[in-house]
Amino acid sequence: MCTYSANPEPERAGRPTDFHLGHYVARAAGGAGLVMIEATGVSPEGRISPYDLGLWSNDQTEDFRRLASAISAAGAVPAIQLAHAGRKASVDRPWRGGAPLAKDALGWPSVGPSGVAFPGYPAPHELTQADISDVVEAFSQAARRARSAGFEVAEVHAAHGYLLHSFLSPVSNLRTDEYGGSLENRARLVLEVVDAVRRVWADDRPVFLRVSTTDWIAENPADNRSSWTIEDTVKLATWATEHGIDLVDCSSGGTDSVPIPRDRDYQTKYARRVRTEAGITVGAVGRIADPAYAAELVETGSADALFIGRALLRDPSWVNNAASQFGATPRFIEQYDYAL
């Protein structure tokens, strides 16, 4: 979950602060098995906002090493999500409206597969093939720095309408070269990034892939646009696993402003489909706030792992409390026993 709390000043941009240290270590001490650092830009223009984390320079590595070490010391596996915001980059903090930022307000020009704007945003610059190669290299170098910093899991962010997802979806990808058109072509960049990250990551350290299982356009009978679908996701998940991905993290939406269902299993039902139809390891996410429901998702085969976001924002000890509910031993029981 993005916190938009990095220092935006150029000399400190992208680096974790004491806020991030306290924030993530609290969740580790609170019982989480794995703590995933929020979307971390692989380049300055790959950040969602000027207040995002980034790992595009060796100078930033030491700050991330401090964070990974502290998470590990608090009992959790340190993980990091590597991302490029693409055409949804250069926006203000959500609590300040989240609108696109002008250059004189810390903003920058956005990029995408085509010059198709996200609703309400400026049209992005269409990436050339040379630019695409630079993006792949940026993911590779960020992964190398993350590995050096001590992170044990890397996640490639290809969801929520950001750059990699925007290449996958025909809503935002109108290219006619080898990165557009067919599903295989639209998936090309994602798989190139996966290969690049996998090459620099240790063989015994997992690499995850976060995907949007649907654009939520095909589910609307009144909207006849071609879009990214659950069927596409199953194919991508199969290919990504063949390229070395260890787990597919199943989210949804983000490539257009369309209604998203509010039912409890709006995303977890798609995680189950990916797991069943692709025969791979998946993580489920989305409105998982009840420990009993979380246990049910794993026990019934909907997912192999669960990613908890908003519930852990509300309660850093959500996992310890769940452990107590199920009769298990919470982490740091001696220190926290009086509170559980």
Q: Catalytic residue numbers? A: 162
Using H for helix, E for strand and C for coil, what is the string for 240-302? HHHCCCCEEEEECCCCCCCCCCCCCCCCHHHHHHHHHHHCCCEEEECCCCCHHHHHHHHHCCC
Angstrom distances, CA of residue 133 to CA of 138, 141, 192, 302, 310: 9, 12, 9, 36, 35
Estimate the crossing angle of helix 291-299 against helix 318-325, to 10 degrees: 70
Write b or e for each residue in 34-64: b if 16 or more Cβ atoms lie within 10 A of its Cβ, otherwise e. bbbbbbbbbbbbbbbbbbbbbbbeeebbebb
C-alpha span between 41 and 32 (Å, rounded): 24
3-class state of residue 307 by DSSP: strand
**The pair of three-digit structure tokens given for residue 52, joined into one six-digit string:** 């995002």
**The pair of three-digit structure tokens given for residue 237, joined into one six-digit string:** 């998940």
Among candidates 44, 137, 47, which has minimal Cα distance to 91? 47
DSSP classification of residue 88: G
> What are the residues facing 126 on neighbouring strands?
112
Report yes or no: 216 and 250 within 8 Å, Cβ to Cβ.
no
Report yes or no: 41 and 47 within 8 Å, Cβ to Cβ.
yes
